[in-house]
Amino acid sequence: MAVANTKSAMVTARDATPNTLTTYGGIVKTVGGTIATLAADDDGSVYRMCRLSSSARILAIRTTHGTMTSGTDWDFGAYQTAANGGAVVDKDALVDGADLSTARLTPTALPFQAGASYGKYLWEILGLSSDPLREYDLCWTANTVGSAATDVTTYVDYLA
């Protein structure tokens, strides 16, 4: 075994002459919301949690919620805002198939649908070729909603 002295891409870019680092950094902001699910909600229900600019770099998604009996398949992704028609863009772009059947009483980070999405712009995560300069609603889609009423709170940490 050997002692390693490895640089991240950011440090390598900062060490380059000229400095090749693109703007990456800033103040971490958080946006979020709380919704109430009902025992009578059907599979396919959409819960709009917060709104975020396409130019935001997403760092973390955290949630708390009560027990949702059989709520075993929830996706977190992007929908157009009401002003842009409200249609789904990519319902599982951020989290795919989360099991919300067991309560999370403290904010718990959820894994990104694709680990390589961490720190990317929202528009990149959505597979767009350029930034459309618009806002999107970040939403839970309940593929298997479960059968219990509870509150769901979700926070998204991002760089603006």
What is the average pLDDT value for the chain, to the nearest integer? 90
Q: What's the confidence (pLDDT) of residue 20? A: 67
The pLDDT tens digits for 65-76 are 999 989 999 999
Taking the model in full, what pTM does it have? 0.84
Q: What's the confidence (pLDDT) of residue 9? A: 73
CA–CA distance, 91 with 110 (Å, rounded to integer): 15
The pLDDT tens digits for 77-110 are 999 999 999 999 999 999 999 999 999 999 988 8
Provide the residue ranges of all domains of the chain, joining segments of one domain with +: 27-159
CA–CA distance, 40 with 110 (Å, rounded to integer): 26
CATH of domain 27-159: 2.60.120
126 torsion bin: left (phi>0), alpha (psi -120 to 50), beta (else): alpha
